[in-house]
Structure 1
Amino acid sequence: MSAARHDLAAAGAHLASLGLSPGSSGNVSIREDDRILITPTGADLAAIDAGNLTVLALDGTHLDGPRPSKEFPLHTAFYRRDPATRAVIHLHSRHAAALSCRPAWSERSALPPLTPYFLMRVGQTPLLPYAPPGDVQQAADLEQLPFAFRAALLQNHGPVVAGPALATAVDAAVELEETAALLLTLGTLPARVLTEEEARAMADKYGMPWSGREPVS
């Protein structure tokens, strides 16, 4: 059995242990060459069977294993839009899902640059308009957004993050949830966010996408 299968199962268990995957919600995938390993539909991330994962082609064709999570189009969209992507995580984590029900901070990021760690590990995170879970058009819209990003919030739904490695994607998912929790804790209280110069400097240092409040061209 490949190391990628064991790594995916371990990542799912870790995210579930943090309380970021209630019930059978959430799905995780990892790219192996020209194939994608993804958790099956209805899988509990706390107890993923590494030997019973779904295998997809990059175009979403089902190659082997059980029926994939209905959210698989989001995963394949991330892999196609950026060849450097090696892992994708979609969660229903409480605070990020709650934040997805609020208006976006800017056209390119639902969250402001609240902490340096958000810029280091997540970067700009667009808010995608509501669509039913598994909606193919929403995934197509994500794939075609004309600016760089490694994470998105699905309106009234939750976060989806991508990374050049599974560990990077896990860190991004955790940091996105923490930033959302901080924002909700602050509520309407006055809060300082990083200045444009501070945010760009941090994002550039760590190679993360950040456009501030620039409009979509």
Structure 2
Amino acid sequence: MAKELVVLEQRLLERNDTRAAELRRRFKEAGVLVVNLMSSPGAGKTTLLTATLPALSPEPAAVVVGDLATDNDARRLCTATPWVRQITTGTVCHLEAAMVEEAIARWDLTQLRYLFIENVGNLVCPASFDLGEAARVVLFAVTEGEDKPEKYPPILHRADLVLLTKSDLLAPLGFDVQRFVASVHRVNPKVPILPVSARTGEGLAAWLDWLRVLRGAWLSGSDERVRARLQLPERVNHEDQRS
């Protein structure tokens, strides 16, 4: 029985990967950079996007939102862009390529420059499913603690960027940035890490710069993820983070 379940899972992932590859081809042909945002619930994906979308203007950006229930996040994002689609998954803890394909079916992708996929809040299941994205961005909130990354290693294995959200709470919570960086890099030594705060604006300019540079690299056919542009210094001065 266990062997049969493994075979079924492999077939499911293979079908998903095939569909994701076709989506990726369509996105690139249309000139759209697709970013898959993944995090635990409450890490700040929607809040980040409410700050990101207006800042990208006049470059048109769309969002596909995945949630188990409600369209609360989609309604929030509608104030920032008319290009929003909600996927309600019920009991499914991740998005799949077929869901994304259906959600964007009526969109003219050539009118877009960016598409953000706000995945279901979960640090386990979404790691296994390719959605046709050009980049994976994983969010960890300061409120989750410094050792969270090592508890969920698969989510980091293919990450192109880690955002440390709610950075305005670093000082009040006594968050140890060096410990967090070490936790991330024990899983993925090369992924860049950027502290951001949608409340204060910290890190948003660098985040937008990363998106724009990555889009250029993606469309030119380069595999370079411009990681060096956002690498934290090897020694992060924790006292500076508190100032």
Q: TM-score scaled to structure 2, two decimals?
A: 0.31
Specify the structure having the higher radius of gyration (Cα): 2
Structure with the higher helix share, 1 or 2: 2
Q: TM-score scaled to structure 1, two decimals?
A: 0.34
